[in-house]
Amino acid sequence: MLEVNNLNVFYGAIHALKGISLTVGDGELVSLIGANGAGKTTTLHAISGLLPIASGSILLDGKELQKIPSHKIISLGLAHVPEGRHVFARMTVEENLRMGAYIQRDQKSIQKNLDKVYEYFPRLKERWKQLAGTLSGGEQQMLATGRALMTDPTIVLMDEPSMGLSPLLVKEIFSIIETLHRNGITILLVEQNAKMALAVSDRAYVLETGTISMSGKAEELANDDRVRKAYLGA
Amino acid sequence: MKSKTSRGYLLNTVIVVVLFIGFQILTSLKGSEGSFKLVIVPSIWQCCYLMVLAASLNLVLGFMGQLSLGHCGFMAIGAYTAALLSLACERAGLFENKSDLSFLLVLIASVLAAGILAALLSFLIGIPALRLKGDYLAIITLGFGMIIINIINNLPFCGQDGLAQGSAAASLYKNGLGFGSKAKVQFLWFALVVTILSLTLMFMFVRSKYGRAIRAIRDDEIAASASGVNTSYYKVLTFAYSAFFAGVAGALYSCTNATLSTSSFAFTNGGILNSTFVVVMVVLGGMGSLTGSVVAATIMFFVNYQIKNGAWVEHLPASVSGVFEYPMLVYALVLIIVILFRPKGIFGSYEFSLQNLIPDIRRARERRKAAKAERKEAQAHG
């Protein structure tokens, strides 16, 4: 479904991604783990067109994403949940969700998706009239995720959904990710919490200073000595 | 929900029409009275263009969250476009005096041309400038505000002091757009209609899909882009829409004043027309509230008028009235006081509406009560 070939990205003179290749199959949950500054977020930003790429190709169902401006990529069924809970702080929860469906015109399908998101996140329904900026961290993460689901995406890029959340909320977020996965949504997950990420994923890639150092089935990686030492603290 | 909004629209329309007719009756009754003709009517004219100007900057500053410091530059473009166009029409013999029907057409055309030219120029500036963010945009627009003044100054048909000197001034005053006090009374309805129309169009803009998109850009540009909002497009579009109404405000300005001079739009101008002064109006009214801008424009006009013309100023001790010689000091104080005590401005992002007034007050009171109770509880628990 998503195929990234030999991707190179520069920040000025800094070579941030050095020829990354990865694939995400239909309905798969693939995670991208690695330390701070390894290039995980950069990879997602490059895929969804928020960053220009120097060379390489990004194919979504055979279409070259690098030639499409970022605001049009969403209409191809790729949704991006940015890192750090980018919600529209001065809009209400429901307005935030409706912004997610910005490119859609059909009111009926918007309402249908809204109901679906409220089903995934009952807590958002309770607070539909509240300003997003006044939500707790976990609720903001739910809102950012819910907003991405408003377009009925076939693939979702999730950037550090567990960042800054209490362990209990991390569990809740991951159980939601698993639910989405079970419902057939393809997910590319970027996480620092390697343990949780590997526990829910089908496959995983390990990113180290801009290159992919390891890849394979999630369980195998979780049992790999090098991964355990570097990322799982065991 | 839907019927409630349409009822609100109906209510607003009825009230606006009633007020407008009331004004017309008042004008026809008292139109020739001295104080009405010489003080009140010109004040209304000035309030009109200040309201449109403040509201139009609020689109960019309050709703889209981009700092533009050159708004008066667009107003200057509008003022000169309207004045020159009307003069050209007069020279071409399209109208003889202001009672002609053809003058009305020229007037409408001048206002539209003022807005369109300002919007076109804002496109040229906006396309490169709005790709930049934050401070860079402020610097570019600040520069634009200064450059445009110099350009107008150096145009052969505008001259150093603009249309204030020589035969052009006299003919602008008599035959072009510049209205004398009698014409101001005669055309008061026009100023009101233009203001109401402009404010309505801006309201429709912020209530629409576009309004939602620019508020999303203000809150979070990355998330807006990830939601499928073409951020560059909306930024340039809003910038141009805002400049259009700044141009319209400029056209009203050139009607209000007998003469035009670029120095009144310059950044160094200590008077009421200064790009920073407009920013003060928007901040005072509340960023993200068009009704706030309207109220703030009226308040600031009144403050300005009182400082300059109020009879009470003479009775103040010399140290205080000395400060009033430099109105910018007073505006700076107003801005500091607002930021200290009510950083959201008078209205915040609240829009005044008659229909929702009573429930809104009730809700605000409940909220305050709840906050008080919460504080008490927190205190009780230590």
Note the pLDDT tens digit of each residue in B125-151.
Answer: 888 877 776 678 888 888 888 888 888
> At B254, is the pLDDT very low, low, confident or very high (cuts 50, 70, 90)?
confident
Q: Region B294-320: what's the mean pLDDT?
A: 82
pLDDT at A165: 86
B240 within a domain of the structure (yes/no): yes
**Exposed/middle/buried for A221, CB within 10 Å: 0-12, 13-18, 19+?**
buried
B222 within a domain of the structure (yes/no): no
At position A103, the amino acid (one-letter code) is I
The 10s digit of each residue's pLDDT in B87-130 is 888 777 787 777 778 888 989 999 999 999 999 999 988 888 77
Verify whether the Cβ–Cβ distance B222 to A86 is below 8 Å.
Answer: yes
What is the residue-wise DSSP string for A80-134?
EE-TT----TTSBHHHHHHHHTTT---HHHHHHHHHHHHHH-HHHHHTTTSBGGG
pLDDT for residue B195 is more than 90 = yes
Residues of chain B contacting A, Cβ within 8 Å:
209, 212-213, 215-216, 218-220, 222-231, 288, 349
Q: Region B347-374: what's the mean pLDDT?
A: 77
Minimum-distance CB partner of B219 among A50, A91, A103 = A91
At B345, is the secondary structure helix, strand, or coil? coil
Question: Average model confidence (pLDDT) for chain B?
Answer: 82
Could you tell me which of B331, B272, B283, B353 has the C-alpha nearest to residue B305?
Answer: B272
B380 within a domain of the structure (yes/no): no
Sign of CA pseudo-dihedral A180, A184, A187, A191: positive
pLDDT at A114: 92
Percent above pLDDT 70 for chain B: 88
pLDDT at B80: 87
- ipTM exceeding cut-off 0.85 for this assembly: no
Least confident span in A70-84, A130-144, B176-190: B176-190
B304 within a domain of the structure (yes/no): no
Q: Which residue has the higher pLDDT, A21 or B37?
A: A21
Q: Which residue has the higher pLDDT, B58 or B310?
A: B58
pLDDT for residue B157 is more than 90 = no
Judge whether B76 and B265 are in contact, CB under 8 Å.
yes
Q: How many structural domains comprise chain B?
A: 1
Minimum-distance CB partner of B225 among A50, A87, A91 = A50
Q: State how far the Cα of B128 lies from the Cα of B141, in Å rounded to an integer.
A: 11
B40 within a domain of the structure (yes/no): yes
The domain of B166 spans 33-209+227-271
pTM here? 0.83
pLDDT at A201: 93
Q: Dihedral through CA B154, CA B156, CA B157, CA B161, nearest 10?
A: 40
pLDDT at B115: 96
pLDDT at B168: 53
Judge whether B211 and B218 are in contact, CB under 8 Å.
no
For A148, name the nearest residue in chain B, comparing CA atoms only.
B227
A88 contact B CB<8A: yes
Give the highest mean pLDDT range of B3-17, B184-198, B266-280: B184-198
B362 within a domain of the structure (yes/no): no
Q: Which residues of A touch B230 (CB under 8 A)?
A: 69, 71-72
Give the highest mean pLDDT range of A219-223, B264-268, B374-378: A219-223
The 10s digit of each residue's pLDDT in B208-220 is 889 999 999 999 8
Q: Which residue has the higher pLDDT, A36 or B45?
A: B45
Verify whether the Cβ–Cβ distance A82 to B288 is below 8 Å.
Answer: no
Q: Which residues of A touch B344 (CB under 8 A)?
A: none
B336 CB contacts (<8 Å, ≥6 apart)?
A: none
B369 within a domain of the structure (yes/no): no
Could you tell me which of A121, B66, B341, B230 has the C-alpha nearest to residue A132?
Answer: A121
Judge whether A117 and A79 are in contact, CB under 8 Å.
no
pLDDT at A233: 67
Q: Region B362-373: what's the mean pLDDT?
A: 80
Q: Which residue has the higher pLDDT, B111 or B378?
A: B111
Could you tell me which of B102, B90, B48 has the C-alpha nearest to residue B257?
Answer: B48
Verify whether the Cβ–Cβ distance A95 to B212 is below 8 Å.
Answer: yes
| Contacts A–B by Cβ distance under 8 A | 70
pLDDT at B151: 86
Least confident span in A57-66, B24-33, B40-49: B24-33
pLDDT for residue B269 is more than 70 = no
pLDDT at B1: 42
Verify whether the Cβ–Cβ distance A91 to B229 is below 8 Å.
Answer: no
Q: Buried b vs exposed e over A173-208: b needs ≥16 C-beta within 10 Å?
A: bbebbeebbeeebbbbbbbbbbebbbebbbbbbbbe
Judge whether B84 and B157 are in contact, CB under 8 Å.
yes
B356 within a domain of the structure (yes/no): no
Please tell me the CATH code under which domain A2-232 is placed: 3.40.50.300
Verify whether the Cβ–Cβ distance B212 to A98 is below 8 Å.
Answer: yes
A60 CB contacts (<8 Å, ≥6 apart)?
A: A1, A2, A3, A73, A76, A77, A78, A155
> At B10, is the pLDDT very low, low, confident or very high (cuts 50, 70, 90)?
confident
Stretch (H or E) spanning A189: strand A186-191
Q: Which residue has the higher pLDDT, B7 or A130?
A: A130
Q: Which residue has the higher pLDDT, B22 or B258?
A: B22
pLDDT for residue B2 is more than 70 = no
A89 contact B CB<8A: yes
For A72, name the nearest residue in chain B, comparing CA atoms only.
B228
Q: State how far the Cα of A186 lies from the Cα of A78, in Å rounded to an integer.
A: 10
pLDDT for residue A222 is more than 50 = yes
